Structure 1
Amino acid sequence: MSLKDYIQQHPCIKRFAYRFLMHSVKTRPNWWIRPFQFLYIKRGKGSVIYGSVRRDITPFHPFVLGERSVIEDFCCINNAVGEVLIGNQTRIGLHNTIIGPVHIGNHVNLAQGVIASGLNHNYENVELTISQQGVSTSPITISDDVWIGANSVIAAGVTIGKHCVVGAGSVVTKSVPDYSVVVGNPAKVIKHYDFTTRKWLKNI
């Protein structure tokens, strides 16, 4: 049995480990953990994480940044409740927020102010405050060769297919098929690529 499995099976030890690693109010790694992030952050050759990026990155779940990928200034990256995996030659634009579980492919471009969160707060029990009910997660997958416009929101559980474009300001609540253009709130497919005619066709 691995150490991680042992901790998962013993709630008291799990709570102690969590409190040791995470600040109870700030809900981010404690100051004495952050200097050791280089031991568990996996980065590919030529990757860049700018100095102003908020790295709420814990050893609980994997964080991987692929070769020649960039996380630009003022982003927040959080893997406390799920892994964050970013492929090769991908750019996470200014002021993005990425909360796992999120899988981002190769050659992906996220413009400014994009939010992709695989986390939702539970709220169903009206006898408790929402903050007392914990969270649930559902992975986001952004496939290879995707462009997401500025200030878009990608909801938990969504898969965006290969070579898709998400228009600026869109709120994507449902999965998007390969080779599509989506816009709006909620986002809808307005174009798709037809391999027979080899043209982008408008959806009627």
Structure 2
Amino acid sequence: MTEKQRMLAGEMYDPADPELAELRLAARLLFEQLNTVSQQDRVRRDGLIRQLFGSTGEQIQIESPFHCDYGENIHVGENFFANFGCVILDVAEVRFGDNCMLAPQVGIYTATHPLDPAERNSGREYARPITVGDNCWIGGMAVINPGVTLGNNVVVASGAVVTKSFGDNVVVAGNPAKVIRTIEPTS
């Protein structure tokens, strides 16, 4: 098994592997371009995003600066928006449904490290995928931790640290995030 295969399978892997280092560099070169292209050049910006991400819907907008690890492990549905300062550590897959919005400085982190210090000091790490359903809004400076799944119509309050999964139609807030309200969809 290659280190990339181990990484995507959620097993311990070596991030210093040459193939992974090359893929991260390619992503950084793409988001470096994205972060310097004028907002007026929508065609070029869209092309760079589509080249960077694994898959996208037709409508996508990302405000610069944007940063990620690999890009190819990010999949977004239709009508995706990420505001300034978004960071997605896509060591594992990150999937967004349709109509998702990320406020400024949102962090989506699939990467994680062993708790045991000897294992952690080895430099090896692992990751857990993140899935966000349709019609979700993640507030400013919120953090979504490895392995989290959010259902449809979820709102994550600003500054929340989401450490576990939540089902549909809820507002979550706090550190660690908990349900503070249920949403009654109008349609």
Number of the residue aligned with 1:72: 63
Shift of 1:34: 4.7
**Residues 1:107 and 2:99 aligned together:** yes
Shift of 1:99: 1.5
Number of the residue aligned with 1:179: 169
Shift of 1:51: 10
Number of the residue aligned with 1:19: 18
Q: Mean alpha-carbon deviation: is it higher for 62-71 or for 173-182?
A: 62-71
Q: How does 1:69-148 map to 2 (within 5 A)?
A: 69-79=60-70, 83-100=73-90, 101-126=93-118, 130-148=120-138
**Residues 1:159 and 2:149 aligned together:** yes
Given the superposition, is the C-alpha separation of residues 165 and 20 from structure 1 closer, same or farther in structure 2, using an over 3 Å criterion? Answer: closer
- Following TM superposition, the consecutive aligned residue runs of length 4 or more in structure 1 with deviations greater than 6 angstroms are 50-53
Number of the residue aligned with 2:25: 29
Letter aligned with residue 113 of structure 1: Q
Which structure shows the higher strand fraction? 1
SS at match of 1:168: coil
C-alpha separation in 2, matches of 1:96 and 1:84 = 13
Shift of 1:92: 1.2
CA RMSD of aligned residues (A): 3.6
Shift of 1:182: 0.6
Letter aligned with residue 189 of structure 1: V
Q: Mean alpha-carbon deviation: is it higher for 92-101 or for 71-80?
A: 71-80
Unaligned runs of 5+ in 2: 7-13, 31-41
Letter aligned with residue 81 of structure 2: R
SS at match of 2:18: helix
Unaligned runs of 5+ in 1: 10-14, 36-45, 199-204
- Answer 1 or 2: higher relative contact order, Cα 8 Å, separation at least 6: 2
C-alpha separation in 1, matches of 2:154 and 2:21 = 37
**TM-score of the two chains, using structure 1 as the length reference:** 0.66
Shift of 1:135: 1.2
C-alpha separation in 2, matches of 1:115 and 1:169 = 10
